[in-house]
Amino acid sequence: MEEHFCRHEKLDEVLAAETNYPLQQFYLIPWLWQFFAQHRREVEEKRSKLAVLYRWYFFLGIDVAFHLIVLLLSRCLRSRYCIRFFFRRIAPWVVIQRWKVVDKSQDMLTMEHELFRHIEIEICVKRSRLAGSIAFVTELIKHFDGDEAAFSSSTRKELETLGLWDDLEERRGSYTHNYQICVRRIFPDETLMSMASGTDEPYYSISFISYARPSGRHGFQSFAESLSRTMAALFDGRPHWGEGLPIDSGRSVSSLRPPSRIS
């Protein structure tokens, strides 16, 4: 597996790279609002001579050091200014770009999520709804951070029409997102429990992660609840059953949509 990172300003640039890198995943960096793509593809080349160095860089630099900073920001400092400054000014320099390395797939395609306790919610949307979803997610994160003008007039009008605005307005300023948003492609299949079933176009999972202490997750849980309801109503988003899921037992995904949108 060959892998390298590259920074992109626009989503279209990232999606265009799928032709050459079909196994890529990418990240929306909050407060910078740009993308870092982890371009990946199968190759028949031998393992790179510097593969061991790359693995140590990734483990110590990304899996450990980067996440320790996130823990400091989310659990100790809890400063909105520090979080925004880190992702705008420091985080982009942690990633080494355009360093192409070939290594074993089991090493390239796995991440050390088990090192630090965290909570995650994952919303899946069709490719045709991805651009709109990313734009809305950006507005939603800004809104929860306290930005009164985060939503465009058209988005606010639609939220009001769906009966979702008042609840969102009450939650404004209650949470500052402190981790990059991971996006990956899922090919359609016919497995009933799959988030990509029942369609002929790919889905994209959009993952939101928090490293706050279990006792300090109230803001993230409020954000996740609003995220689930609004993404279902606006983009037919499907929350992943195996991640954090703010739905009561026995309720269907369709119940996340306001009655006016249920067919």
CATH of the domain at 192: 3.30.70.2520
Q: How far apart are CA 229 and CA 129, in angstroms?
A: 16
Q: How far apart are CA 40 and CA 104, in angstroms?
A: 12
Tell me: do 90 and 125 sit in the same domain. Answer: no
Tell me: do 104 and 123 sit in the same domain. Answer: no
What global pTM score does this model have? Answer: 0.90
Domain housing 138: 119-261
Q: How far apart are CA 17 and CA 34, in angstroms?
A: 15
The pLDDT > 70 percentage for the chain reads 94
Q: Which residue has the higher pLDDT, 248 or 87?
A: 87
Q: How far apart are CA 59 and CA 53, in angstroms?
A: 10
Query: Radius of gyration (Cα) for the chain, nearest Å?
Result: 19
Tell me: do 144 and 191 sit in the same domain. Answer: yes
- The answer, yes or no, to whether residue 261 has pLDDT greater than 70, is no
Alpha helices in the chain (DSSP H): 11-16, 51-57, 67-71, 80-85, 105-108, 130-145, 153-161, 165-171, 218-235
Tell me: do 146 and 251 sit in the same domain. Answer: yes
Among 249, 224, 248, which Cα is nearest to 237's? 224
- The answer, yes or no, to whether residue 79 has pLDDT greater than 60, is yes
Tell me: do 162 and 249 sit in the same domain. Answer: yes
- Final residue before a domain boundary, out of 54, 83, 112: 112
Q: Which residue has the higher pLDDT, 79 or 246?
A: 79
DSSP one-letter code for 237: -
Tell me: do 143 and 182 sit in the same domain. Answer: yes
Q: Check: CB of residue 99 under 8 Å from CB of residue 5.
A: yes
pLDDT digit string (tens) for 128-179? 999 999 999 999 999 999 999 999 999 999 999 999 999 999 999 999 999 9
Q: What is the mean pLDDT of residues 88-106?
A: 95
What are the tokens at 160?
Answer: 């009001």
Identify the pLDDT of residue 248.
Answer: 57
* Mean pLDDT for the chain overall: 91
Q: How far apart are CA 54 and CA 61, in angstroms?
A: 10
Q: What is the mean pLDDT of residues 237-253?
A: 68
Identify the pLDDT of residue 197.
Answer: 87
Number of domains in the chain: 2
Q: What is the mean pLDDT of residues 232-257?
A: 69
Tell me: do 128 and 229 sit in the same domain. Answer: yes
pLDDT digit string (tens) for 24-67? 999 999 999 999 999 999 999 999 999 999 999 999 999 999 99
Q: How far apart are CA 24 and CA 245, in angstroms?
A: 26
Q: Check: CB of residue 225 under 8 Å from CB of residue 115.
A: no
Task: Give phi and psi for 130, each to the nearest 5.
Answer: -65, -50
Tell me: do 140 and 240 sit in the same domain. Answer: yes
Q: What is the mean pLDDT of residues 92-117?
A: 93
Under the banding of pLDDT at 50, 70 and 90, the label for residue 247 is low
Between vectors from CA 63 to CA 59 and to CA 68, what angle results, nearest 5°? 125
Between vectors from CA 34 to CA 28 and to CA 35, what angle results, nearest 5°? 55
Residue 203 makes CB contacts below 8 A (sequence gap 6+) with: 124, 125, 126, 127, 185, 186, 188, 195, 196, 238
- The answer, yes or no, to whether residue 249 has pLDDT greater than 50, is no
Tell me: do 76 and 132 sit in the same domain. Answer: no
Tell me: do 170 and 231 sit in the same domain. Answer: yes
Q: What is the mean pLDDT of residues 176-204?
A: 91
State the first-to-last Cα distance of the chain, in angstroms, to the nearest integer.
Answer: 44
Tell me: do 249 and 130 sit in the same domain. Answer: yes
Under the banding of pLDDT at 50, 70 and 90, the label for residue 192 is confident
- Final residue before a domain boundary, out of 80, 112, 144: 112
Tell me: do 185 and 100 sit in the same domain. Answer: no
- Final residue before a domain boundary, out of 50, 83, 112: 112
